[in-house]
Chain A
């Protein structure tokens, strides 16, 4: 019971209160930032902040096991999955600010305020008692007590959970699998295309001069004209606005598009 005495000391009380208010403000601000941020990556990082502060709240509420599960499963696994999918889908996929449904933001805000009022009334009417005295189940014996409950009273739900996880893994594999519509290009076919493209050699490297030694400087051809293809289209696209955006998103399909005009027709990748 020394832990109980520790928690009841005034200094620990003040620390607890301070931690709660600081983290409450941070988590609400990060939640608002998540809703308001335009870029999806910013939203994911804001969500990470919220989840980490919720993990600290779990620790304060006597759930050390759930606090660690929150950090490992949510911040570690789920958010990384979100970030991976963001990288696949495209990092520049910012939300458009044009409303497709008229007055959607206004009605959403009104609905949010209504929900807040409703839930506040419900919580205000409910009798929320004080926390019970600290027992071993909320401290050092948390994991043991949880394991005891999971494998006795909740054992059936636990078994069903395994079925759910297997189904989810299988579903994700089936959904993410893509059938190859065309035959895989062989080395022979790739070599033939390379010769037929008119440029069998690799692309020239960028220029290296006495005054300019950078990847954005085009190399000079023997007759003194700059070779535009020696600069990566990614870099020239950053430095100057691209004239015509390539239909494909990846640089591998943009490279032949920026070459000479007599290149082979760009294959449709999707």
Chain B
């Protein structure tokens, strides 16, 4: 019997994988992908809670998260391409001009 607890556990595991990816990877695009994985894990938890409580508010929140994530990806990738154009690198270590 698959209960909502199973889905929550899966969401936790996926979220942690995404968080470790953000910490470990240095290609900025892959870091973005890991952020997307974390957002997806949070969405899975929202939809599971909606199913558990029997109302649709969780699904609405997940829908809005998807919209915000799409906007974030568009702006983030535009920033990445302009950084790559200026510096010929997509590594997060190379963009360090504003370091003190």
Contact = CB atoms under 8 A, between A and B. Distances in A.
Interface of A: 13, 16-17, 20, 24, 27-28, 31-32, 34-35, 40, 43-44, 47, 50-51, 54, 57-58, 60-63, 65-66, 69-70, 73-74, 77-78, 81-82, 85-86, 88-90, 93-96, 100, 104-105, 107-109, 111-112, 115-116, 119-120, 123, 128-133, 135, 137-138, 142, 145-146, 149-150, 154, 157, 161, 164-165, 167-169, 171-172, 175-176, 178, 270
Interface residues of B, number: 72
Given A54-B43, A132-B54, 4 more contacts: A61-B7, A74-B69, A78-B36, A154-B64
Interface in B6-28: 6-10, 12-21, 23-27
B99 interface: no
Per DSSP, chain B at the interface is helix
6 contacts: A34-B37, A66-B59, A85-B77, A95-B30, A104-B23, A142-B56
B64 A161 contact: yes
A262 B50 CA distance: 71
Nearest to A105: B24
Given A35-B25, A35-B34, A168-B75, A128 B59 contact: no
Contacts of B56: 137, 142, 145-146, 149
Contact of B16 (A119, A161, A164, A270): A119
Contacts of A111: 19-20, 23
Interface string B52-89: 11111101101110111111111101111110110010
